[in-house]
Amino acid sequence: MLKKEALLLIPNVLKVFLENGQIKSFTFDGRTTVKDVMVTLQDRLSLRHIEHFALVLEYSSPEQSHRFLLLQDKQPLAHVVQRTHYHGMRCLFRVSFFPKDPVELLRRDPAAFEYLYIQVGTGAGGCCCSGRGAKEVLVWLQLPLTARG
């Protein structure tokens, strides 16, 4: 059985951490971009609309809270993996911005709404929905679920 860290030693592999605790691994070559991983994740997670999500690099240190770096679609994966391996960062599939109308997202893509809700509703490491306005955002996302049930 491989240890969790063992995948870091495999060349040309990017690990993407999902909010449900899963880790998706992607092999790549010199031409593979962040957009290629996003399209594959869209397929694997059965999402129809991913415009509210992005790949981000997470960095945390004892003296600072979590910091996130949003990855650009055209960025080569070789560059991303180099940063994750040598700077102690993790690659995550995260909400990049909230939808204007969560009910519309729920209608268009229930799976994307659920993934969004998992991140916001559970606090997702305490960084996605905290501070001023946090309760309003949670209520705003819970209303469509209540109306549906």
Nearest to 35 by CA among 21, 55, 52: 55
Instruction: Quote the domain boundaries for residue 99.
Output: 4-148
Q: How does 50-85 read in b/e, with b if 16+ C-beta sit within 10 Å?
A: bebbbbbbbbeeeeeeeebeebeeeebbeebbeebe
pLDDT value of residue 83: 67
User: Hey, which bits of 18-103 come out as E strands?
Assistant: 23-27, 53-61, 64-70, 90-95
List pLDDT tens digits, range 61-108: 666 677 888 899 999 988 877 766 656 788 899 988 888 888 899 999
Residues above pLDDT 90, as percent of the chain: 27
| Best-predicted range by mean pLDDT (32-36, 87-91, 100-104, 138-142) | 32-36
- What pTM, to 2 d.p., does this model score? 0.71
Place of tokens 């981000």: 56
Q: How many domains, in total, are found in the chain?
A: 1
Residue 135, φ and ψ in degrees, nearest 5: -65, -40
